[in-house]
């Protein structure tokens, strides 16, 4: 690991909102039914709506073996989330409209079942059902006024930490703003962390997504803005990721359990720390070339040796060890205009870049330097 | 650290209830006023009682500089907790009666301000104000039926993890039963983790209490019953304790911050794991000789070389390094009857001893062996 810089500054982040509770371990999905049922019973006792909204990753469309394990009733609402692209404010608004169209205003609970996009979508819907207006109105910090609908998260892939964070990332296509609803109300009430659910994830996707937790934490620990809580979560997340990705089999039962814990702790770390150089470059790849966040992080790692030398070595050792193929050359032969866009959408991230390189980070990340780094990817 | 045993068994603990939220960092105590005020405002809006109960460690009696920082109103209830002995069910009942005697039935919130005894006392009172009967009725697992009064914990010493657990340990003097109210309702709604509050703790007490977190976690990681969540919290707790106690100054600003995080994470670990050989022997010292839990743990470590060789060395290195005096010889010249009591009150702890030594632990811990170990202390 990279040595922490000698003098650290305080992140200024002083308040942590935890997920209410969680079930964990192999087969934990069996406990979902009890949690959902107790919500229905409680709704019934007050004359409220007993129906439940299931927000399900399109990955499971047609996977009747998996879907049969969800405690659905005939009158529940099922929303399938298209994960081709990351969530948009308009997309969230239309899902909320779909819920209202069938006459549900406040369901007994919302169950998010899937990857980071699906979990974030469930969180956003839960906020909007109890708050007026549209998703774009709540992009920012602490803009959500009313407590959200009760919600349960069931991650089916590990790494993003979406199950633990107080945000739900989405892009407003009209303004180009990519920003979540950062709010205490965005945090899940309950999680079901069942590593058996990640057994069918394609290997490359499993690696890319899992490494999101690792990369965030190596960035956080190498930064200037730090605090003891974020550092502790980051250290343990990295320990677990090393165990999983430098071990023999990243998808063994034990590894999938460890990575699910790493993802949860990494998500807890996110709430109190800042990223560094990787995420801004990765964001550039996402915005300009439409590459998904987790694979974009891994592609970015090709150019990170000078910033994170130890993590660079460790990361590429893990790639070799797990036999994963990270896409290469995606930003090698682009137009001048595209490089200009890449530069702009990278250096705009002043907070993480200041965290990593200091306030004069643009002296390091000149236009030519940024282009050179993208060409290394 | 001790190597984990090769084959591990599942703890069977599958549900974690988190503390709702926490403020942390130096000076975080300043945020307490806002949290208390928002509870008063919310109580007022529904016509409920706006008064607050402050449950304060006797350590702060007369410390007007500290007490002035608590957001007290003239009509609030202040209970001073006698920490000479650990909590009893009768003691809790009489504090609850004291609250009711001044006409408070459900206060806006309860603030626990102090060490583990004080925090556990605040948790127990919060449960009893909304549940009929007496404290002894709720010793056990999930016996508390109604949600507790809202409560805020402010630890002023680090190590026990009482701020994070779902129990509040107490002894029923009539039956001799030492058992807490294990319940989701026992968990604090909010914590204020301000390491400045631990600056005035006497050095020896600071060490003994801090080592409670370390010892629990080394026991948990050496046991047979394990899970990935508990392991992760334990690993990071140990990392932080090593940093604090093997570093130059266990009471530096940074160390006190790290130890406060270790205590919180160690408490989180407790919820999903089992202890081992240390805690049963320590319990024997508490029950038979009245020695407080944390110092009893440290005394017990004198006899733990054969069970935890690496932790033994590390622990006594830390004692030397921090210049702490651990009492010695407390169980060297006792009566036969006392040794019999010590033996009984140690081997009764079958769960942790099975975790550490296997189901036939009494073959290892014969009467003579147990006495020999106590004499080593």
If you count residue pairs, one on A and one on B, with CB atoms under 8 Å apart, how many are there?
89
Distance (Å) of CA B33 to CA B11, B23, B47, B81, B192: 40, 12, 21, 21, 11
CA distance B23 to B31: 7
Count of beta carbons in the 10 Å neighbourhood of residue A292: 19
**How close, in Å, is residue B206 to chain A by CA atoms?**
19
Q: What is the average pLDDT across B324-350?
A: 96
Tens of pLDDT along chain A (377 residues) come to 344 444 567 777 788 999 999 999 999 999 999 999 999 999 999 999 999 999 999 999 988 888 888 999 999 999 999 998 889 999 999 999 999 999 999 999 999 999 999 999 999 999 999 999 999 999 998 999 999 999 999 999 999 999 999 999 998 989 878 889 999 999 999 999 999 999 999 999 999 999 999 999 999 999 999 999 999 999 999 999 999 999 999 999 999 999 999 999 999 998 888 899 999 999 999 989 999 999 999 999 999 999 999 999 999 999 999 999 999 999 999 999 999 999 999 999 999 999 999 999 999 999 999 999 999 99
**pLDDT score of B303 more than 60:** yes
Between A234 and B175, the higher pLDDT residue:
A234
The first and second tokens of residue A79, run together, are 């929303």
Query: Which residues does chain A have within 8 Å of residue B262's beta carbon, measured at their own beta carbons?
Result: 232
Site from A228, A240, A242 to mutate, B interface, most B CB atoms within 10 angstroms? A228
Q: Does B228 touch chain A (CB under 8 A)?
A: yes
CA distance A207 to A298: 9
Q: Does A232 touch chain B (CB under 8 A)?
A: yes
Q: Specify the pLDDT at position A3.
A: 41
The helix (run of H) or strand (run of E) holding residue A320 is helix A309-322
DSSP B150-164: PEEEEESS-SS-TTT
The position carrying tokens 């005096």 is: B325
The first and second tokens of residue B338, run together, are 């006392």
CA distance A271 to A54: 26
Count of beta carbons in the 10 Å neighbourhood of residue A25: 23
pLDDT (tens digit per residue) in B28-44: 999 999 999 999 999 99
- Beta strands per DSSP E along B162-213: 171-172, 177-178, 181-182, 190-193
DSSP state at residue B281: H
CA distance A42 to A183: 25
Domain architecture of chain A: domains with CATH? 21-198 (3.40.50.1970), 203-375 (1.20.1090.10)
The first and second tokens of residue A62, run together, are 């047609």
pLDDT (tens digit per residue) in B80-97: 999 988 899 999 999 999
- Can you say whether the dihedral through the CA atoms of A97, A103, A109, A114 is positive or negative? negative
Q: What is the average pLDDT across B167-195?
A: 93
Q: Does B6 touch chain A (CB under 8 A)?
A: no
The position carrying tokens 């507790």 is: B148
Q: Does A21 touch chain B (CB under 8 A)?
A: yes
CA distance A355 to A277: 9
DSSP state at residue B58: G
CB contact under 8 A, B184 and A28: no
Pairing of strands B15-17, A21-24: antiparallel
Q: Does B20 touch chain A (CB under 8 A)?
A: yes
CA distance A113 to A70: 9
Pairing of strands B52-57, B109-114: parallel
The position carrying tokens 């308040």 is: A15
Site from A213, A236, A237, A269 to mutate, B interface, most B CB atoms within 10 angstroms? A236
**How are the residues of chain A apportioned to helix, strand and coil, as percentages rounded to the nearest 5?**
50, 10, 40
pLDDT (tens digit per residue) in B112-162: 999 999 999 999 999 999 999 999 999 998 999 999 999 999 999 999 999
**How close, in Å, is residue A260 to chain B by CA atoms?**
9
CA distance A220 to A273: 6
Smallest Cα–Cα separation from B194: which of B31, B4, B362, B26? Answer: B26
Hey, what's the torsion of the CAs at B267, B270, B272, B274, to 10 degrees?
A: 170
Q: What is the mean pLDDT of chain B?
A: 94
CA distance B171 to B168: 10
Q: Specify the pLDDT at position B133.
A: 97
Buried b / exposed e along A82-113 (16+ C-beta atoms within 10 A): ebeebbbbbbbbebbeebeeeebeebbbbbbb
Count of beta carbons in the 10 Å neighbourhood of residue A184: 15
CA distance A281 to A290: 13
**pLDDT score of B7 more than 90:** no
Max Cα-Cα span within chain A: 65
Smallest Cα–Cα separation from A221: which of A235, A209, A210, A211? Answer: A235
Query: Which residues does chain B have within 8 Å of residue A15's beta carbon, measured at their own beta carbons?
Result: 21-23, 31
Q: In sequence order, what are the residues at sequence separation of 6 or more whose Cβ sits closer than 8 angstroms to the Cβ of residue A369?
A: none
CB-based contact B53:B110 (threshold 8 Å):
yes
ipTM above 0.90, yes or no: yes
DSSP state at residue B369: H
pLDDT (tens digit per residue) in B40-92: 999 999 999 999 999 999 999 988 888 888 999 999 999 999 998 889 999 99
What is the chain A residue with the closest CA to B20? A18
The first and second tokens of residue B109, run together, are 């919130």
The position carrying tokens 């009209």 is: A174
CA distance A276 to A225: 10
CA distance B153 to B263: 13
Q: Does B21 touch chain A (CB under 8 A)?
A: yes
Point out the least confidently predicted range of B153-157, B179-183, B336-340: B179-183
CA distance A203 to B55: 53
Smallest Cα–Cα separation from A124: which of A185, A175, A176, A80? Answer: A185
Q: Specify the pLDDT at position A272.
A: 86
DSSP state at residue B88: B
Smallest Cα–Cα separation from B87: which of B279, B259, B286? Answer: B286
Q: Specify the pLDDT at position A362.
A: 97
DSSP A175-206: TTEE--EE-GGGS-SEEEE-GGGGTTS-HHHH
CA distance B108 to B127: 14
CB-based contact A265:B232 (threshold 8 Å):
yes
**pLDDT score of B236 more than 60:** yes
Measured in degrees and rounded to the nearest 5, phi and psi for residue B348 equal -65, -20
Pairing of strands B109-114, A77-81: unpaired
Q: Specify the pLDDT at position A280.
A: 96
Smallest Cα–Cα separation from B235: which of A240, A251, A37? Answer: A240
Q: Specify the pLDDT at position A271.
A: 83
Crossing angle of helices B336-347 and B367-376, rounded to 10°: 100
**How close, in Å, is residue A285 to chain B by CA atoms?**
33
């Amino acid at each position: 690991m990279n040595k922490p810089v000698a003098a650290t500054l305080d992140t200024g982040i002083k308040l942590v909102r935890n997920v209410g509770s969680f079930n964990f371990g192999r087969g934990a999905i069996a406990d979902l039914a009890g949690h959902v049922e107790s919500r229905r019973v409680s709704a019934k006792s007050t004359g409220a709506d007993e129906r439940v909204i299931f927000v399900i990753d399109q990955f499971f469309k047609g996977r009747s073996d998996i879907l049969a394990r969800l405690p659905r009733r005939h009158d529940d609402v099922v929303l399938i989330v298209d994960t081709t692209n990351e969530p948009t404010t308009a997309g969230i608004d239309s899902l909320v409209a779909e819920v209202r169209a069938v006459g549900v205003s406040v369901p007994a609970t919302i169950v998010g079942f899937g990857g980071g996009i699906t979990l974030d979508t469930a969180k956003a819907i839960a906020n909007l059902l109890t708050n007026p207006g549209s998703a774009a109105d709540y992009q920012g910090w602490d803009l959500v006024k009313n407590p959200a609908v009760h919600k349960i998260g069931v991650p089916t892939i590990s790494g993003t930490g979406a199950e633990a964070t107080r945000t739900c990332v989405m892009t407003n296509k009209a303004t180009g703003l990519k920003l979540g609803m950062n709010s205490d109300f965005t945090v899940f009430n309950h999680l079901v962390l069942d590593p058996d659910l990640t057994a069918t994830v394609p290997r490359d996707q499993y690696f890319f997504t899992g490494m999101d937790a690792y990369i965030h934490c190596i960035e956080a620990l190498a930064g200037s803005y730090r605090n003891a809580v974020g550092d502790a979560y980051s250290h343990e997340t990295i320990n677990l990721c090393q165990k999983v990705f430098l071990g023999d089999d990243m998808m063994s039962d034990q590894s999938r359990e460890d990575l699910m814990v790493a993802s949860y702790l990494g998500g807890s770390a996110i709430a109190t720390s800042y990223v560094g150089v990787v995420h801004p470059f990765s964001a550039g790849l996402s915005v300009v070339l439409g590459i998904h966040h987790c694979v974009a992080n891994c592609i970015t790692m090709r150019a990170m040796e000078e910033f994170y030398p130890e993590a660079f070595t460790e990361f590429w050792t893990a790639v070799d060890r797990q036999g994963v193929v990270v896409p290469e050359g995606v930003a090698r032969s682009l137009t001048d205009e595209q490089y200009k866009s890449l530069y702009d959408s990278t250096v705009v991230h002043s907070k993480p870049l200041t965290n990593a390189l200091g306030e004069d980070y643009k002296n390091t990340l000149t236009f030519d330097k940024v282009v050179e780094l993208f060409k290394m990817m």
